[in-house]
């Protein structure tokens, strides 16, 4: 296992370096200049040039890149152009909020998707099944900004059950997490349902029933474990969608997370913040997918890593 | 303590420890009640009480009043509550009131001497002296933020006595007071400490208690403020960017006041009996520049045609109801230096005539850049403009772009038409006219030596009456030369819960010093 992990680590470093480089070039190719954005429409051309020089933006691209990499290995990712603090601090202050939101959404998705998928598979072609199928399709197709605003109107404005925006206690987490989770719930429900139906025809399921196990025991001990591998894979892959959705949900619900910061930073051409935020997202992705791959060994005893 | 462990070896909360803790708790409670600031120390009239929760339309991007974000309205609102300035702009008189400076004089046009108010303390207890004013002004210039160019003519700042500040300028500066109203006074001793601006210290009516970026800034009343005590004990700025969420928060009572709402949301709020709407003229306006260096806008007749083609009155009543009013000069009527001009009528026939006379009988093709989100109803306004111009034969392509790209093209003069909003931050015509309409500024290709000369005279005159006359002249020239289209000046509507009392909106950014929150 340790040599497997070692290999994955090397691969991870390579991916991180690649993402860093691609983003570095991409933000600088796109039209729009951070110095201009900072000075706004009221400054003179000299002011803009002076600021570009101060920020080191007038150096050749290669020199800027080399300087950036040299800093990166020391974990110094530069100063945010707009926020007047280190880019790492700007992102780091907001990452916990995004992690809380995305994590809660993922937990919610699994907690809802599994039982709903099972219920639909058990009561095949019944009212429950059709209801769950329609609901999961809606969950996947409804745009999350619309859903978020609808939730605010219904649960905050009309029913007054929950707060409308911001971060605070658990009650502030409910609506944003639910909005974010809905797409994943839809995906998971359908996945679990079709997975169970596929597994239902297998020999070992028939043998399990023949042994005299109740349906609950068959599902819990034989069917679900075999469905878990694709489920876990999809959950890991959906992390990207979750983070993309988090940007919108964070804006709608005034959640002070890194997603909002990233979008604002792109609009403002705040290069250091964009680079750090993307690096964090890449690292998160790599970590989650590593956990997913490692979990296979636990979910399926036949899989062994060397 | 051996006697506290059970036979199993695990220490328990024995009786001795419990009694000890209880004694500590009681002692602590006694200490805190004795140490809490006694309310009687305030003036007999109204001690600050209660909490006001405000949601600004844009988030607070930082707490440095001199940094690159200093021009952002959210930063200026917060600065006004945490820091003091030498003078404060009074929109009603279009003049300036004493604040940290109790009197000032100009022994000669290039020298200003300010006498400071005695006994002013910073939030950390330090005394505010002329040295702090000197250091703050020097930092403002050194930071090269958006307000630094206002100080281009500064020669030197001296603090000959604790309560005297002498500012010498290279040439006379007529806008000295306007510029000083934007200069927050920071403590010289600590302002350069690293991390100072994470929780900056000022001398204003409120101090910073906590700041969670993108979420909430909490201020509390300064008990040793030199001026009248604020009405509320706690002032919270909550960041809620999404309009639906912000309006909901106002309706449910999660916030007490907000503004910057689109007309359809205002209509929803008007019927709500828990809420109170107040509308005020502002320093903000819409305008359309025409690139005078590019054909066909080099010809004044074409520019005039573009103005005659627009029915601004209909646009106001249908698109901008309650949020704008007609504009009658190149600067809003609320600004010092405004002089009303004769409005251009809505006359599409005359527009076509002018175009034909200028050599475009079959109309012409051009484009308009703008940045969506820069002003209320901008999409609707842009569409309306395009269709009015189309009706007289001017086919305008919609070249909207995100802010960074729009700004890039704007500053490179790579455009034909530009639609945008602007705010006259100081409430003084110099802020807009001299920065944007001189030959040197070259923002839309207009070059008129008379305008350059008059604007310079106005900037260098310390006689405010003379300055008003100069700006009146410039308004007339720009208007007659059809340098741009100035269709609307914007109104701002503040929505607050009825428990909020004493809030007086003005054309400049909102302040909440005298606001109280009742039951």
Predicted local distance difference test score (pLDDT) of residue B43: 43
Task: Tell me the CA distances in angstroms from A151 to A127, B275, B368, one per residue in order.
Answer: 26, 23, 38
Task: Tell me the CA distances in angstroms from B189 to B135, B166, B296, one per residue in order.
Answer: 9, 20, 57
Minimum distance, in Å, between the CA of residue A183 and any CA atom of chain B = 21
Spell out which residues of chain A touch residue B246, defining contact as CB-CB under 8 Å: 165
pLDDT digits (tens, 9 = 90+) for B93-146: 888 999 999 999 999 989 999 999 999 999 999 999 999 999 999 999 988 888
Spell out which residues of chain A touch residue B61, defining contact as CB-CB under 8 Å: 82-83
pLDDT digits (tens, 9 = 90+) for B260-299: 998 889 988 999 999 999 999 999 999 999 999 998 999 9
For residue B342, the 8-state DSSP code is: P
Cα separation of the two ends of chain B: 53
Q: What is the pTM (predicted TM-score) of this model?
A: 0.86
Beta pairing, strands B394-400 & B364-370:
parallel
Which long-range contacts (C-beta less than 8 Å, at least 24 apart) are formed by B221-224?
B221/B48, B222/B123, B223/B37, B223/B41, B223/B42, B224/B121
For residue B395, the 8-state DSSP code is: E
Angle, alpha carbons A13-A15-A21 (nearest 5°) = 105
User: Does the structure show a pLDDT above 50 at B7?
Assistant: no
Cα radius of gyration rounded to whole Å, chain A: 24
Q: Which residues of B touch A (CB under 8 A)?
A: 61-62, 64, 67-69, 71, 144, 146, 149, 197-198, 212-216, 238-242, 244-246, 248-249, 251-252, 254, 402-405, 407-408, 410-411, 420, 422, 435-436, 441
Token pair 């997370």 is at which residue? A257
CB A234 within 8 A of CB A155: no
pLDDT digits (tens, 9 = 90+) for B464-493: 999 999 999 999 999 999 999 999 999 999
Q: How far apart are CA B516 and CA A153, in angstroms?
A: 29
Q: How far apart are CA B44 and CA B53, in angstroms?
A: 25
Contact (CB<8Å) A43/B149: yes
Predicted local distance difference test score (pLDDT) of residue A237: 85
pLDDT digits (tens, 9 = 90+) for A261-281: 998 899 889 999 999 999 998
Token pair 């006219």 is at which residue? B433
Spell out which residues of chain A touch residue B408, defining contact as CB-CB under 8 Å: 31-33, 36
User: Does the structure show a pLDDT above 80 at B508?
Assistant: yes
Minimum distance, in Å, between the CA of residue A90 and any CA atom of chain B = 9
Spell out which residues of chain B touch residue A82, defining contact as CB-CB under 8 Å: 61, 68-69
Q: For chain B, how long is the longest CA-to-CA vector?
A: 109
Spell out which residues of chain A touch residue B410, defining contact as CB-CB under 8 Å: 41
pLDDT digits (tens, 9 = 90+) for B162-177: 999 999 999 999 899 9
- Among B316, B293, B291, CA closest to B306: B291
Predicted local distance difference test score (pLDDT) of residue B17: 52
Contact (CB<8Å) A82/B213: no
Q: What are the residue ranges in chain A where pLDDT is below 70?
A: 42, 306
Q: How far apart are CA B308 and CA B302, in angstroms?
A: 10
Question: How many CB atoms neighbour CB B2 within 10 A?
Answer: 5
Minimum distance, in Å, between the CA of residue A73 and any CA atom of chain B = 24
The pair phi, psi for residue A48, each rounded to 5°, is -65, -45
Spell out which residues of chain A touch residue B216, defining contact as CB-CB under 8 Å: 166
Contact (CB<8Å) A157/B251: yes
From B248, B403, B422, residue closest to A152, measured CB to CB: B248
CB B410 within 8 A of CB B418: yes
Q: How far apart are CA A295 and CA A297, in angstroms?
A: 5
Helices (H) and strands (E) in chain A, counts: 13, 0
Percentage above 90 pLDDT, chain B = 78
Chain-centroid distance, C-alpha A202: 34
* 3-state SS string for B89-104: EECCCCEEEECCEEEE
The pair phi, psi for residue B103, each rounded to 5°, is -150, 160
- From the candidates A44, A155, A165, A261, which should be mutated to test the interface with B, based on the most B CB atoms within 10 A? A165
pLDDT digits (tens, 9 = 90+) for B318-375: 999 889 999 999 999 999 999 999 999 999 999 999 999 999 999 899 999 999 988 9
Contact (CB<8Å) A166/B69: no
Contact (CB<8Å) A83/B238: no
Predicted local distance difference test score (pLDDT) of residue B243: 93
pLDDT digits (tens, 9 = 90+) for B409-445: 998 899 999 999 999 999 999 999 998 999 988 899 9
Please classify residue B316 by burial: count the beta carbons closer than 10 Å to its beta carbon, then call 0-12 exposed, 13-18 middle and 19+ buried: middle
User: B496 forms bridges with which residues in the sheet?
Assistant: B257, B276
Chain-wide mean pLDDT for chain B? 89
CB A277 within 8 A of CB A262: yes
Spell out which residues of chain B touch residue A51, defining contact as CB-CB under 8 Å: 144
pLDDT digits (tens, 9 = 90+) for A45-57: 777 888 888 888 8
CB B317 within 8 A of CB B263: no
Predicted local distance difference test score (pLDDT) of residue A181: 93
CB B445 within 8 A of CB B413: yes
Buried residues in A61-79 as b, exposed as e (16+ CB within 10 A): eeebbeebeeebeeeebbb
From A36, A90, A160, residue closest to B407, measured CB to CB: A36
From B61, B68, B407, residue closest to A41, measured CB to CB: B407
User: Does the structure show a pLDDT above 70 at B250?
Assistant: yes
Q: How far apart are CA A263 and CA B271, in angstroms?
A: 36
Cis peptide before B128 (omega within 30 of 0): no
- DSSP-assigned states of every residue in B132-162: HHHHHHHHHHHHT-TTGGGGTTEEEEEEEET
Contacts for A191 with CB less than 8 Å, ≥ 6 apart:
A113, A117, A227, A230, A231, A234
Complex prediction ipTM: 0.87
- DSSP-assigned states of every residue in B21-89: HHHHHHHHHHHHHHHSPPGGGS-SS----SEEEEE-SS----S-TTSTTTTSHHHHHHHHHH---SEEE
Interface A–B counts its CB contacts (< 8 A) at: 134
Contact (CB<8Å) B242/A39: no
Question: How many CB atoms neighbour CB B76 within 10 A?
Answer: 18
* Closest chain A residue to B412, measured at CA: A45
* Closest chain A residue to B254, measured at CA: A163
Token pair 């695990």 is at which residue? B10
- DSSP-assigned states of every residue in B265-307: HHHHHHT-TTEEEEEEEEEEEEEEEE-TTSTTTTSHHHHHHHH
Q: Give the residue, A200 or B9, on which the prediction is more confident.
A: A200
Q: For chain A, how long is the longest CA-to-CA vector?
A: 85
* Closest chain A residue to B407, measured at CA: A41
Instruction: Supply B384's token pair.
Output: 């309306």
């Amino acid at each position: 296992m340790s040599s497997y992990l070692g290999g994955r680590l090397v691969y991870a470093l390579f991916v991180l370096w690649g993402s860093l480089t691609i983003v570095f070039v991409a933000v600088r190719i796109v039209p729009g200049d951070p110095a201009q954005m900072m000075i706004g429409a009221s400054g003179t051309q000299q002011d803009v040039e002076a600021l570009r020089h101060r920020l080191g933006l007038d150096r050749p691209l290669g020199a800027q890149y080399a300087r950036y990499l040299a800093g990166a290995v020391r974990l110094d990712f530069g100063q945010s152009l707009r926020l007047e603090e280190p880019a790492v601090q700007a992102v780091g202050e907001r990452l916990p909020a995004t992690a809380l939101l995305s994590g809660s959404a993922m937990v919610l998705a699994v907690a809802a998707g599994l039982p709903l998928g099972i219920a639909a598979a058990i009561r095949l072609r019944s009212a429950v099944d059709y209801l769950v199928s329609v609901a999961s399709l809606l969950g996947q197709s409804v745009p999350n900004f619309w859903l978020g605003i609808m939730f605010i109107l219904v649960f905050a404005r009309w029913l007054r059950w929950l707060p409308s925006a911001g971060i605070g206690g658990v009650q502030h987490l409910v609506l944003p997490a639910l909005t974010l989770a809905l797409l994943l719930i839809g995906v998971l429900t359908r996945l679990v349902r079709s997975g169970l139906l596929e597994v239902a025809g297998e020999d070992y399921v028939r043998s399990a029933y023949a042994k005299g196990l109740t349906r609950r025991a068959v599902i819990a001990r034989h069917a679900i474990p075999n469905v878990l591998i694709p489920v876990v894979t999809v959950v890991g892959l959906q992390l990207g969608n979750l983070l993309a959705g988090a940007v919108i949900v964070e804006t709608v619900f005034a959640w002070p997370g890194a997603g909002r910061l990233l979008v604002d930073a792109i609009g403002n051409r705040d290069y250091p913040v964009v680079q750090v935020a993307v690096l964090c997202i890449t690292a998160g992705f790599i970590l989650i997918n590593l956990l997913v791959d490692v979990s296979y060994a636990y979910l399926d005893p036949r899989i062994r890593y060397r | 303590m051996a006697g506290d462990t059970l036979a199993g070896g695990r220490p328990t909360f024995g009786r001795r420890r419990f009694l000890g803790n209880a004694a500590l708790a009681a002692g602590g409670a006694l200490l805190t009640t004795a140490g809490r600031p006694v309310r009687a120390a305030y003036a007999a009239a109204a001690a600050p009480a209660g909490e006001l929760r405000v949601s600004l339309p844009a988030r607070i991007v930082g707490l440095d009043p001199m940094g690159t974000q200093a021009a952002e309205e959210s930063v200026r609102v917060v600065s006004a509550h945490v820091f003091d300035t030498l003078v404060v702009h009074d929109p009603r008189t279009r003049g300036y009131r004493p604040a940290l400076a109790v009197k000032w004089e100009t022994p000669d046009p290039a020298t200003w001497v300010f006498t400071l108010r005695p006994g002013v303390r910073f939030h950390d207890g330090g005394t505010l002296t002329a040295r702090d004013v000197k250091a703050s002004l020097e930092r403002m210039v050194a930071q090269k933020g958006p307000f630094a160019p206002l100080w281009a003519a500064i020669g030197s700042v001296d603090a000959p006595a604790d309560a005297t500040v002498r500012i010498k300028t290279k040439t006379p500066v007529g806008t000295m007071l306007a510029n000083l109203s934007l200069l927050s006074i920071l403590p010289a001793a600590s302002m350069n400490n690293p991390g100072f601006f994470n929780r900056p210290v000022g001398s204003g009516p409120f101090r910073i208690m906590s700041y969670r970026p993108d979420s909430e800034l909490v201020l509390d009343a300064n008990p040793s403020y030199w001026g009248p005590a604020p009405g509320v004990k706690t002032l919270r700025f909550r960041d809620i960017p999404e309009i639906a969420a912000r309006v909901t928060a106002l309706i449910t009572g999660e916030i007490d006041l907000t503004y910057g709402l689109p007309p359809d949301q205002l209509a929803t709020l008007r019927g709500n009996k828990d809420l109170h709407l107040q509308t005020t003229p502002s320093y903000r306006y819409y305008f359309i520049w025409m690139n005078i260096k590019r054909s066909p806008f080099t010809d004044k007749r074409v520019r005039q045609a573009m103005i005659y083609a627009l029915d601004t009155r209909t646009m106001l009543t249908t698109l901008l109801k309650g949020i704008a009013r007609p504009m009658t000069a190149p600067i809003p009527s609320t600004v010092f230096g405004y002089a009303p001009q004769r409005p251009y009528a809505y006359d599409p026939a005359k527009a076509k005539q002018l175009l034909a006379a200028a050599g475009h009988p079959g109309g012409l093709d051009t484009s308009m850049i703008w940045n969506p989100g820069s002003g209320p109803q901008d999409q609707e306004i842009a569409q309306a403009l395009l269709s009015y111009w189309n009706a007289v034969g001017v086919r305008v392509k919609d070249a909207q772009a995100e802010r960074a790209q729009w700004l890039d093209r704007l500053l490179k003069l790579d455009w034909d038409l530009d639609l945008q909003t602007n705010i006259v931050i100081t409430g003084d015509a110099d802020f807009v006219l001299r920065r944007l309409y001189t030959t040197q500024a070259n923002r839309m290709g207009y070059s008129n030596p008379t305008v350059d000369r008059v604007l310079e005279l106005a900037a260098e005159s310390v006689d405010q009456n003379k300055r008003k006359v100069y700006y009146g002249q410039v308004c007339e020239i720009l208007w007659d030369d059809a340098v741009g289209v100035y269709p609307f000046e914007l109104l701002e509507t503040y929505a607050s819960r009825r428990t909020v009392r004493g809030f007086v909106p003005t054309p400049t950014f909102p302040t909440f010093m005298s606001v109280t929150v009742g039951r």
